[in-house]
Structures are given as C-alpha cells and as structure tokens.
Amino acid sequence: MVEAPEPPHHHAHKTGLPWFDLVVPIAVLCISVASLLTSLQSEKSMHALVEQNRRLVSAQSTPLLMLDSANLVDGKQALSMTLSNVGTGPARIGWFRLLDDQGNSYSKNFYERVRQVDPTATFTSQQIGGTLMRSGEGRSVFNWPKPADGSPALASWAKLETDRFYLHGSACYCSMFNECRITDFGDDQPRAVDSCDKAGGAKQK
C-alpha cells in the first residue's frame, strides 16, 4: 500500500531573535486595539456632533409666544390685546385661553358679548387656536375702540379697561419639530408637554 505524502506544515517565520519574534505579535495586537479605540472615539465624537447640530437647529427654530395689552392703538383710545410670536421659528398653536379671576372665558364668544353692549363697535379679533403663527407675526385677541361719550357701552368699555389687568392667558403650542410647550405668559419659562390635545388641555411630560 502506498501512503499519501504528508502535507507540508507551515511554520511561522522566525528571525532567529527570540525577543523580536515576541515583540512583533504584541505590537500587532497593540495596533489593533488602538485602531478599535480610535474608531469608538470617532463614533462617540460623531454622535456628539450630531446632537450639538440638532440642538443648534432646534434653538434656531424655537417659537416663543408673548401676550400684550394696551388702551391706546395708533394714537386713539382702544382696548386691545395681541398675541405675538417673538421666537425664532413658527408656532403651531394647539389652543389659547383667556380667563378672568372667576374663571370666566374672555376668548370664547367675546365678539358676541361686545356686540350686545355696543352694536356699533368696530371690534376686531383673529382666529388663534389651531393656527400657525410665523416668527414675528402678531394676532389680535381683541381690539375695541372707545365708545363715544354718552354711549351705553362706555361703562362696559371702562370696566374692561380695568379688568384686562386681571385676565389670565395660557396657550399650548408646538414647534416645527413637534416640541410642544404650555405658557402662562408669566415670568416662568414655558413647560414642555408631550402634545397639545384638541380639548384645550395637554399631556404633561
């Protein structure tokens, strides 16, 4: 019986210097570990850069609502309240409320109430809830010119001139990135919420 020739065995090439033969594989291992650590660090830096860019874009697209009232419009006596977007991005307004100290709504059917006491009033207002406000845009909550002297509506106008300091506004709005906030137009910063619901409330974060 003829036996098959034994396959050749491959032996690691040695230099004849034991210390050098030991250092070479260790050096290769160190280089591999260093490459892995460098890749991990680069990935971490990339994630940090992406997050920084996201925050920068968000900051440049953040809406901020402000509510102002006045009793003089274009040099003429008139009671007005204006909602403005003074932020850097558009605001999608989920809801807007205006209440007095007793919890009575001033933002609902306000036009009808003014017309009842002053049928000749050139009262103006704009739709606010469920609309989109551009950065720098303002909306008239109400604008009621002062009735003529002797008008039966003058007493109601004068009462609102005092009451406007006790009206409490609140609104829920979202940015273009669907980051939603509720504001009470006070000194506190708007608080983040998950979303603005259609019923006029909000889901708290």
**What backbone torsions phi and psi does residue 190 show, to the nearest 5 degrees?**
-55, 140
Please tell me the distance from the alpha carbon of residue 103 to that of residue 167, in angstroms, as a whole number: 9
Six-digit token pair at 89? Answer: 């991005």
Closest CA to 172 of 99, 64, 97, 94: 94
pLDDT (0 to 100) of residue 204 = 40
Please tell me the distance from the alpha carbon of residue 171 to that of residue 182, in angstroms, as a whole number: 6
192 CB-side CA count, 13 A: 7
- The answer to whether residues 87 and 63 touch, using CB atoms and an 8 Å cutoff, is yes
Give average pLDDT by consecutive 10-residue segment, the chain, 205 residues: 55 59 72 77 67 59 92 91 94 90 73 80 84 93 90 89 88 93 91 79 44
Whole-prediction pTM value? 0.68
Closest CA to 95 of 169, 11, 41: 169
Six-digit token pair at 64? Answer: 């901020």
